[in-house]
Structures are given as structure tokens and as C-alpha cells.
Structure 1
Amino acid sequence: MAKRVLVLNGPNLNLLGTREPGIYGAHTLKDVETLCKQTATELGLTIDFRQSNHEGELVTWIQDARKTADAIVINPAAYSHTSIAIPDAIKAVGLPVAEVHLSNIHQREAFRHHSYVSAAALGVICGFGVTGYRLALIALAEKLK
């Protein structure tokens, strides 16, 4: 049976392709979903791809993943720097989690240099644009073997 990966996207990622393309690139969230589905197929994974602008909804999805997923890829976006609830949920479910950021958060404003989510994640990929999602899925597929 194929391993299942929940791919979560946080606030404002629904605006990819039009929101600050100099920072986040020209790809849309639909493009990211297509890349994730293609990568998952290559790796023998299945994915459930979601986006929310609401922290509580992301927390609920993480909690539900205990029963529906084997791993999580998350781009928590701005919640990386503000949310305690998201890393708490990640720790509670005990699944391997890869954190992804399109931009290199360490080259940006000082407040973006710290991610609360990173402390709960297996690993972090940042600065490689949408390719970061592919790299996260590859890493998780290896971990799930």
C-alpha cells in the first residue's frame, strides 16, 4: 500500500504567482500541487494537498493526519514565525514532518529567521522555490522506507 503524505500550505499561499513574484516566484499553488502529485507518483506515494489561511484549520488537519497520513509536508508560511499551536500539533501526532519555505527565510527580515515549526520538524528546506516541495517528498519517501 502506498504511503500517504499530507501536504499543507499556510496563509497567503493561495496567492502564489501573483503575490510578490520576485520573492515567491511565478508558480501558482496549482502548479505546486501538480508538481507534488507528479513527484508522489514517481515515489510511489499518495498525497492529500491542502491550503488554509486559518491556523486552527491547519492544526485540525495535522491532528487528523494521525489516522489518514504517514508523513506531512508543511509550508506554514507566516505561521512559522508566530504559531505555537502548529508545532504542538506536529509533536502530538508524532509523524515525520518536512517544513518547506519557497524563499530563504534566513536572507529575509530578522523576524523570519526563527521558525517555531522547525523545532518539531524532521527537516527544513528553504530557498529553492517550488522545488523544495519535491525535495521534501523525496526525503520523506526515504524516511518512510
Structure 2
Amino acid sequence: MFTHQRELRIEWGDCDPADIVFYPRYFAFFDASTGALFEAMGCSLRDVRRQANQVGFPMVDTRSQFYKPSKYGDIVLIESQISEVGHASFGIQHRLFNDGKLAVECSEKRVWAGLNEQGELKAQAIPDSVRKRMLA
């Protein structure tokens, strides 16, 4: 399944008074990493939204485990991988490494979504062109 890596420098605003990353910031890192993963697949959110009535891929579940803190100034590596592909949903696994050691794991489940005729947000089948990229 498709995998992407990106480096990130921990900024002062990411940290709490103990000088470690405030845990909600990790979810922002992983959300941005999902966007970077799709960009690397050649399928940006802008491209998705250009398709008829497509909104994007909202998250319906996320879970994390924290093993090692990261601090201001640390350079971390986030590895993101498509972990499963269903009809209208897919999973992503993120692993954040600090100094070569696993610091945080996160799993996401997202749904391919668009607007129906009534303008309501509904799950839709993942387009075949995107599915092929996810499975590459």
C-alpha cells in the first residue's frame, strides 16, 4: 500500500509548559501528513473537490499511542501509509519517529464523502483511479 514520509521540526507553539508536544498537536501533524500522503499520490484535496459533488475524506475514527515525548527543536520523521481500502472508507497508519525511535503511532479511518442531491454529506465509493493509487 502507498507510503509517504516527511520530516517536521517541533516548534515552540507545539509544546506545553513542560516543553513537550501537547498531545492534540500530534493529531494536527497526522492530519497534515494525510494531506501530504495524498499529494504524493498525485491526488490533492483540491483535485478531489473538483470532482462532481466531492467534499473530501473526513475522519470517522482516530486512535493514538504515545511512547516517547518530543520536545521543542526536535526533528521528527512521520511515516504515513494507507493500511486498508474498502468500498467507501480507508485506513491510514501514521508512525512518528524521534531520534530513530518510535514515539507515537496513530491510526485513522476516513470516509470518501460527497454531497447528495439534497446537499447532505454522504459516503461515496472511492473512485477507481484513487483506489489504484492507494493500493500501489
Tell me the TM-score normalized by structure 2: 0.28
Larger Rg: 2
Q: Which structure has greater helix proportion?
A: 1
Q: Which structure has greater strand proportion?
A: 2
